[in-house]
Amino acid sequence: MKAALRKLAFFAVPLVLFCAQISVRAEEQPGEMASKADQAGKDQEPIKVTFGDGPDAPRVSSTISMLLTMTAMAFLPALLMMTTSFARIIIVLGFLRQAIGTQQSPPNTILIGVSLFLTLFIMSPVFNKMNDAGLAPYNKGELSGEVAIERGLKPLREFMGQQTRKKDLALMIELSRLPQPESFEYIPTMTLIPAFVLSELRTAFQMGFLLFLPFIVIDLVVASVLMSLGMVMLPPAMVSLPLKLLLFVVADGWFLIVRSLTVSFAAASGA
């Protein structure tokens, strides 16, 4: 009983002191509290959000600038997947894993990592052109933000245009109800990106279909042999999986897959 009272007192004393401190603060004079509030208002600068190019025009406060930066960073994963070679690579690797028949090997983390680094390797010339055309001059103060964005997007637009089918591009122009552009430069970026994604999905599914063919042949042969031997209770996948892995290793499958993916972008760009 004494031990329980000691524990209760151990937790109750700090709680009482905390409540007493709150009550003392609540008993402050209204005038004193108002003066403190006025003093805090004087010390804190108001947030100003105005835009202008003149030397006397105030800039966006650091809080709003940080908020806009964080909001823009939230769209970076979507931009990485929809405007680069990432979508085609990850879809093809996913089809490959499904065609071989391994459920979680290689795991999703490995596939995403391989796709990301292959994307950086394939897109590095485009990123270098974007940096030289827009980001580097902007950091030196030679270009304004709007001009830097326009020039920096030009290499990326050229890359997407080289990988996009004319049929998909015409479809998006028709759906957006825009007049027929005179040249590629007049096509809006928001119209080019969906057309590029459609073309990437079509190309990735074509490559996935070609990947499935040799492994389906192995599955059919194994199933036919087991049926002819009367081994109905033996699952064909148990026998075909080692054979498919052996075929993939002997043919140096990873080398062929990576080479095919890389060459597919270089061939479309005319490199």
Q: Is residue 1 pLDDT above 70, yes or no?
A: no
- Indicate the average pLDDT of the chain: 76
Q: Cα(160)–Cα(140) distance, rounded to whole angstroms?
A: 28
Write down the pTM of the prediction: 0.70
- Say yes or no to pLDDT of 14 above 50: no
The mean pLDDT of 20-27, rounded to a whole number, is 41
Percent of the chain topping pLDDT 70: 75
Task: Report whether pLDDT(51) > 70.
Answer: no
Greater model confidence, 153 or 23: 153
Ordered by start, the domain boundaries in the chain are 87-269
pLDDT at 83 over 80: yes
Can you give the pLDDT at residue 146?
79
> What are the tens digits of pLDDT across the range 199-240?
999 999 999 999 999 999 998 888 888 888 877 777 877 888
